[in-house]
A and B are shown apart, each in its own frame.
Chain A
Amino acid sequence: MNCKHIKNQLIDYIDDNLDKETSKKIQTHLASCKSCSEDLQELHNVFEAIDDTPVELPSKKLRMNFEKMLVQEKELDDDSKVVSLHRESKNSWKVAMQIAATIALVVCGYFYGKLEKTESFSQEIAVLEKEKYQMKQTMTISLIENESASKRLQAVNYAEEFEKPGNDILNALISKMHYDDHINVRLAAAEALSKFSDSEIVRKALIHALDMEQDSGMQIELIQILVSIQEKRAVPAMEKLLQNKETLDYVKDQVKIGLPSLI
């Protein structure tokens, strides 16, 4: 270690802040180095002078002022406590009101929301229902014109599901009953129309169908329908069937069974 290094550590050496090994090294160096040992002595002198400096005592005024200040602060603290208590009691009312208002608001909000929701919900549903109904109608009508007999049959079955079908649907069903090439479709259409016998067009159509229908199965179906809806205007058409030589026997039998209940 050189002198500069030693000098840098002299304060720690005096303060006994060094490990034994370093301390010993410095000690050996100091014994042989005049400059460093002089430095050490000077530091000792300064530290001695510092340590000799008497502790100054403040006047009694300082303590008196402190005590006075402490009393004032305690009073202030108490005052603020009193004030804060007072405030708290006021606040507790306020807080209670605030809580009540919050709860009321939430409850109102809930019910309003619920009301609003049901209203708008049912409105929405209504719109959807209407749309669905219109779509079904459109679909039924377009399906009813389909080339495939089974599709037409399906459409007729759909049409049957309408509680109050529009004239579009009725006309489509009537035209199927009258003119469809496939007997099953005509039968299904007739059956479907029987449910809407409240409608005058349907009644007339059924009578007309019986008048011109050639298929025996269809004739029987129409006779049964017309009898069950008590359509007296169908009587001439039935009598015509009885007199027609081409009419099959069991169709005639059916007419004979039904006719008395109409007359």
Chain B
Amino acid sequence: MKNLTDEELMILVSNGNLDMMSVLFDRYHIKIFNFIQKMTRDREISEDITQEVFYKAIKYRSSYRKGKFSAWIYTIARNIFSDHYQNQKNKDERFENVAYKVEQKEQDYIESKEVNEELYRALNQLSKTDKQLVIMNRYQGIKYQEIAEITGSTAGAVKTKVHRAIHKLKNHYLQNA
């Protein structure tokens, strides 16, 4: 089972072999967790969201349509993240709490890794979309074509956007330095 492709495994899952999902969990949960963690900078929320991603993947296993599995799971992750983000926005009180939490975490990072902190700050200055694109492409090494599949765009458009976002990030990074 270990040498089956993601897609083959997911087809088995959608046909009712739920155990195969744990192989996919092994392959993807750290990536998804890091993606969300970079976006939220909150480990707890990131774990919750990652958990929900795999829960939804099992729940909606029959909606999987033979496309690239990584694109499919990232699409789910992005949807859950933006739902979460919307909920946070709607609840002002909780939003403030999160902001406070983020600040606290930032303090932790300053103590541990200075370089990362400058980069994180620069990353946070980007728009949510740009941030997602940079994380997917540069942190997670997802190709333009696949990002296009995840975001429902074209490879060319994604490349242009990613490049622009990287230049912005670079400028923020230099200013912060």
Contacts and interface: CB of A to CB of B under 8 A. Distances in A.
Q: Are chains A and B native binding partners rather than an unrelated pairing?
A: yes
Interface of A: 8, 11, 42-43, 45-47, 49-50, 52-59, 61-63, 65-67, 69-70, 73-74, 77
B22 A58 contact: no
B29 A66 contact: yes
Given A77-B16, A77-B18, A55 B166 contact: no
A47 B170 CA distance: 9
27 contacts: A11-B166, A42-B174, A43-B166, A43-B170, A49-B116, A49-B118, A49-B119, A49-B173, A50-B138, A52-B116, A53-B116, A53-B139, A54-B113, A56-B33, A57-B30, A59-B43, A62-B51, A63-B25, A66-B22, A66-B29, A66-B54, A69-B54, A69-B55, A70-B19, A70-B21, A70-B58, A73-B59
A62 B50 contact: yes
Interface string B21-60: 1100100011001100100000100110011001100110
A63 B50 CA distance: 10
Given A42-B170, A58-B50, A74 B22 contact: no
Contact of A59 (B47, B115, B116): B47
A63 B29 contact: yes
Contacts of B50: 58, 62
B169 interface: yes
Contacts of B115: 49, 52
Contact of B22 (A46, A59, A67): A67
Interface in B86-137: 113, 115-116, 118-119
A56 B37 contact: yes
Interface residues of A, dominant DSSP: helix
B19 to A, nearest CB: 8
Interface residues of B, dominant DSSP: helix
Given A46-B170, A70-B18, A73-B58, A58 B43 contact: yes
A46 B33 contact: no
Interface string B163-177: 100100110011000
A47 B30 contact: no
B131 to A, nearest CB: 12
B25 to A, nearest CB: 6
Contacts of A8: 163
B119 A11 contact: no
Nearest to A46: B170
Nearest to A17: B159
A42 B168 CA distance: 12
Nearest to A43: B170
A186 to B, nearest CB: 96
A218 to B, nearest CB: 101
Nearest to B25: A66
Contacts of A74: 18-19
Closest 8 pairs between A and B when the two form their complex, measured CB to CB: A58-B33, A49-B119, A62-B47, A46-B170, A50-B138, A74-B18, A73-B58, A56-B37
Find the residue from A62, A63, A69 having the highest chain B CB count within 10 A: A62
